[in-house]
Structures are given as C-alpha cells and as structure tokens.
Structure 1
Amino acid sequence: MALRVIAAGLGRNATLSIKFALEALGFGPCHHMTEVFADEQRQVPLWLEAAAGRPDWDVIFEGFGSTSDYPSATFWREIVEYYPNAKIVLTTRDPDRWFDSVSQTIFSPWMQDAHAGTAAHALMQATMFGPIAGNVSDRAFLTDWYVRRNRAVLDGIAAQRLLHFDVQDGWHPLCQFLDVPVPDLPFPRTNSRAQLGRASGAAGVVSSDPQARERFARLYIELMRDQAFAAVE
C-alpha cells in the first residue's frame, strides 16, 4: 500500500487529530509516533536505520495509507519524493505557542527522563532532537527553526499537492482537497497538553518492558480516538 496522504506538520501541530481525521476519511491506517510506540520492537529499528540514511519506506509504512507526526515529519522531503502521488497536508501554529507546547510535553525534560533507557528515547534523539541540531530550550532559536522549517515545506512542494490546513476550519477544506465527502462526524479534537500529561504520568513511570510499552501505546490510541470523536465540534 502506497501512502496517499502525508501530513507534514511537526509534533504538537494537531497531528493526532489529523491521524484520526484521515482514518475517518478512508486514508488509514495513519502512521504516527503513537503507532511507532505501539509496535516499537519492529518500528524503532527501521526508523533508526532511516535516521542513519538507510530508509526502507515500503517496510516502514507497510499497511498504512497515510502518515502524520514524528518521525515521518522529520523526513518529509524524502517521503514526499518517494510517494509522488501522495497529497501533502501541513498543519502549523503560532511559533511561540508551539514552543510553549513542545517545551511542556514532547521536548520536556520530564518526558525525556521518563523514556530514558528505552528504545523510544533513542528514537526521539535520532529523529526529533538530532535534526534540530540546537538548544531546544532556547525560544528564539527554536521558534526561528520552526518558521524556517515550515517555510521550506511550503516552498518545496508544488501548490497542487499541498494544503496548508488549520484544524479549526474543520472538515470542509480537508475534504475538498482530498476530494472526499464530508463525514457526519465532529472533527476530531484531541491531544491537549493535559491529556498527554495524564497519559504519560510523571518522569520515571515508563515501563522497561517493550511489550508493556506497546500495550500502553495501543490503549492510548484508542482512548484518544474515543475522546476525539466524543467532543463537540
């Protein structure tokens, strides 16, 4: 199965909402960092190979119809080129609000400490922090990097393939771009900072057992999906 939609937004840009939206529209399953965690024993080595310059996109995305979030957002150029018929959706937000969000969640010291010593920690270092190549706690540096990165996506993809999408606009622009009917569902809203914090817990609680981590990730996906579509649009 070749990818049909590539959501190129970085983490904390409504990437889980996009995952659930694309699945509801028939472009699933949608790859996402949560799916990596739910299959970490197979997926993490593949992504570490990709970070080392040896990607096997067909194997990584086997069974998936779309992708969103890290790690694929880091490799947007390669993946867009590899799947020339895929459409691209880019979600962005105010750079300072993005900085505040990542600083309190996925880039936070407590998150990194919680995953220390696990395969997920090695993956995040290789596919999230390594490519940034700078101090992620420096607001000026990181917001500038964020703006330049998103501009590169906007400038680097043909206009007919790309939708710069704000999830606050709901289904209509996304469905029009993808040429599918608008579903009779609320647009999925999920993955707030509070939800992520409650799900992940305090630093040090991540299990050392990869099978336990995979089970937790699968439960997290289903919990977030249920909450996303239970929300009032």
Structure 2
Amino acid sequence: MGLSVIGAGFGRTGTESLKRALEILELGPCYHMYEVLPHAERVAVWRAAASGETPNWDDVFSEYNATVDWPGAYFWRELSAHFPKAKIILSVRDADSWYESMDNTILPILRNSDDPKSIGVKLIADGVFGGNIADRDHMVSVYKKNIADIQAEFGEDRLLTYELGSGWDPLCDFLGCPIPDQPYPRGNATDEFQRKVDAITDAPSG
C-alpha cells in the first residue's frame, strides 16, 4: 500500500485520536503502537529495529496507508525518505502538559520494566531520551528539540504542525479532505490508557 501520511509526533500528543481521525478520513488503516503489541512478529521487527537493524519498510507497512505514534515516529527521518510523497503530521501539545501526560501513563511503565530489550525501554527510554527518564527538564528539552528538528526539515507543503485540540479544520485543509459530519475523535485519555495497558506485555503506547 505504501504510506501517504507519516505521524512524527511523540506519544501522548493525541496520536490515538489522530489515528482515528485519519481512518475516518479514509486515509487508513493507520499504524500505531496498539497495532504492534498484539502481534509477536511485529514486536520482533521493532525490537530488532531498536537494536539498529533496518526493517524492510515496505513490508512493515504493507497493510497500512498511515502511521502515527511510536515506534514509527522515532524513524520519521527514515520513513520520510523512503516514502517521499507522504505528508508529515507533527502532533504537538504544550510541553508541560505533554510531560504530565507522559508521567501519568508511559513513564511508570518504562521505569518499572524488567525487560531492557523491550520496545519501550530500548526505543523510547534509551533511544529517544538517552536513558534519562528521571529528569523532567531533560525530557522536555528532547521533546522540544524533536519538534524543532522536524519543523526545520520540511516545508509547509509537506508538513503540518498539528496542535492537540485543533479539530478537523487544519487537518482536512492540509490533506485536501472534506470535513466529516462528526466530531473530531477523542481517545486514550489517562484513565483509558490505564485500562489498555493491562494487556501490554512489551511496550507502552501513546
């Protein structure tokens, strides 16, 4: 199928809602960490990628038209080069709000993990944050740098910086889609996240 939309925003920036939105706009199926965890073969691919092996991107996303959230967001440089016609959506929120959301959801899982080779530990804790997930200021700095790096890489013709809570208008305008006759989806709030992680065995989602 090949990706036409690449989500480059960190987890906890509304990525699950964005996934649902893209699928409502018929730009799915959309890949997300929740698409990885139930499938041992997908977990194995991303574990290998977190250890430095380059996946076959066409195979990884063969059934998908879009991707958001980690693990795909970690590889935004590689994916944007491999799928040069794909639009890039950088989902963002206020940095303090983002950290609070991380601290209430993903960070406890990473801090309590006993599997140093899990996707969450290897890719997110170590890969994204350099192994330092105890320092709030460091994590916020990494979050802000990721935003700046992506915005410096792409022009407005290819990149949308999508602020959490912006609704349909900027997304549909960027993607050239009519605005659906339904509210923009909302999902994966902290309480909902906690219910979902009961089934997580390898890594967290955003």
TM superposition score normalised by structure 2: 0.90
Correspondence for 1:225: none
Q: Distance in 1 between matches of 2:27 and 2:200?
A: 31
Q: Which residue of the other structure, out of 154, 171, 186, is the alignment partner of 2:168? A: 171
Correspondence for 2:70: 70
Q: Distance in 2 between matches of 1:15 and 1:206?
A: 18
Contact 1:6/1:80 (CA < 8 Å) preserved in 2? yes
Contact 1:105/1:111 (CA < 8 Å) preserved in 2? no
Q: Distance in 1 between matches of 2:197 and 2:71?
A: 19
- More helix per residue: 1
User: What does 1:7-18 align with in structure 2 at a 5 Å threshold?
Assistant: 7-18=7-18
Q: How many residues align?
A: 202
Contact 1:57/1:79 (CA < 8 Å) preserved in 2? yes
Correspondence for 2:44: 45
Correspondence for 1:123: 119
Correspondence for 1:216: none
Match status 1:147 vs 2:144? yes
Q: Distance in 2 between matches of 1:56 and 1:190?
A: 30
Q: Distance in 1 between matches of 2:4 and 2:74?
A: 18
Correspondence for 1:35: 35
Q: Distance in 1 between matches of 2:200 and 2:196?
A: 11
Q: Structure 2 vs 1, CA of residues 162 and 206 (structure 1 numbering), >3 Å: closer, same or farther?
A: closer
Q: Which runs of 5+ in 2 are unaligned?
A: none
Correspondence for 2:102: 102
TM superposition score normalised by structure 1: 0.80
Q: Which runs of 4+ in 1 moved over 3 A?
A: 110-113, 115-118
The percentage of aligned residue pairs carrying the same residue is: 37
The alignment yields a C-alpha RMSD, in angstroms, of 2.2
Post-superposition Cα deviations, 1:105-132, rounded to whole Å, max 9, x if no partner, equal: 1121x5654x6459xx611122211212
Contact 1:134/1:141 (CA < 8 Å) preserved in 2? no
